[in-house]
Amino acid sequence: MPTNTWTRHHILSLADFTAFEYDTVLQTAASFQEVLSRRTKKVPTLQGQVVANLFFEPSTRTRSSFELAAKRLSADTLTFTSATSSITKGETILDTAKTYLAMGTDIMVIRHREAGVPSAIAQEMDRLGVRVSVLNAGDGQHEHPSQALLDLFTICTLLDPNYPQIELLKNKKIVIVGDILHSRVARSNIWSLTASGAQVHLAAPPTLLPKLFADYGEDRPGKLFLHWELEPALQDADFVMTLRLQKERMTANLLPSLREYHQLFGVTHSKLKLCQPNVKVLHPGPVNRGVEISSELMDDPEFSLIQTQITSGVAVRMALLYLIGSGKV
């Protein structure tokens, strides 16, 4: 049942996010975007609270973006990276989380290469009866909610900078192309975009896009279409999201060669001619230039929203930390 106040304590998945929650995130992020355009870019909202970034897997933009977002809200931040931690001495993940709990952490932002770790830590915090919120910053192939929300914000603010809302995406054609099988970004985006009423077209070679993905689109306001060729997917598209080939997650040789992959599924200026004339391209990063997207297109500000996505990420993560963190002190 949608409510008119924010009640979600942890952000672990977008599978059950409501329209009200999407719009609240978008509008809260818009107001923080305005704060970030001021000369003094900081607000006292989370003063006295501790935000711990627990990154058990490498990350550049997500970790830095959460750290900056927490600092802009005046929270105290702790940053953990597994390579330099006691994990290397045999400490369990749960014990690491409890160490941060004992230091007074209010919000844990967690990334792990195994699906389900953030939700296991959230369950443990709830079992202990402590008011600690957990935010999933990417778990295995499962979900990456803050990335999909910043993608949503990037698209909606382009369509209406003054009033970003999911309604703007109704019947827009959005293509997600690349290694969908291994992508948590794709899974979270499928939830947010189909909830917004967009027509979502997935495109990849069959080895990277199994038929079971069609199930994600059942009973959602927006429809989901699967393509094993890129060109039909691109026809009249409004937005194209490109994804990296996640080689670290591939257990078998799923592609003949990178050259052939680029020819068939790489997004380039010439392939974009099939799309709407004002089509825009997104990519969550990190990018393999010349593989999933041509280097020229990535750097072309007429089409590429990649830098805007990174900028939007800070405002969106401020919104998420604010929404789950306010009322704690």
- Interface with ligand NCD (CB under 6 A), residue from 164, 217, 284, 325: 284
* Strand, coil or helix: 107: strand
Residue 148 binds ligand NCD (CB under 6 A): no
Distances (CA, A) of 24 to 99, 143, 150, 171: 32, 20, 13, 21
For ligand NCD, the closer of residues 107 and 243 by Cβ is 243
- Please give the Cα distance from 149 to 317 (Å, whole number): 9
Residue 178 binds ligand NCD (CB under 6 A): no
Residue 116 binds ligand NCD (CB under 6 A): no
- Please give the Cα distance from 227 to 177 (Å, whole number): 9
For ligand NCD, the closer of residues 144 and 201 by Cβ is 144
- Please give the Cα distance from 174 to 198 (Å, whole number): 7
The first and second tokens of residue 4, run together, are: 């008119």
Residue 244 binds ligand NCD (CB under 6 A): yes
Residue 61 binds ligand NCD (CB under 6 A): yes
CB 21 to ligand NCD: min, Å: 21
β-strand partners of 142 = none
Residue least distant from ligand NCD (Cβ): 244
For ligand NCD, the closer of residues 101 and 176 by Cβ is 176
Residue 136 binds ligand NCD (CB under 6 A): no
Burial track 201-240 (b if 16+ CB lie within 10 A, e otherwise): bbbbbeebbeeebeebbeebebebebbbebeebbeebbbb
Residue 185 binds ligand NCD (CB under 6 A): yes
Q: Omega before 58 cis (within 30°)?
A: no
Residue 142 binds ligand NCD (CB under 6 A): no
CB 35 to ligand NCD: min, Å: 23
Residue 118 binds ligand NCD (CB under 6 A): no
For ligand NCD, the closer of residues 147 and 192 by Cβ is 147
How many CA atoms are closer than 13 Å to the CA of 32, on its beta-carbon side?
31
CA 9 to the chain's CA centroid: 18
- Interface with ligand NCD (CB under 6 A), residue from 33, 53, 141, 147: 147
Report the chain's terminal Cα–Cα distance, integer Å: 27
The first and second tokens of residue 287, run together, are: 């990018």
For ligand NCD, the closer of residues 54 and 125 by Cβ is 54
- Interface with ligand NCD (CB under 6 A), residue from 62, 77, 105, 188: 62
Residue 285 binds ligand NCD (CB under 6 A): yes
Residue 138 binds ligand NCD (CB under 6 A): yes
Q: Which residues bind ligand NCD (CB under 6 A)?
A: 61-62, 138, 144, 147, 184-185, 244, 246, 284-285
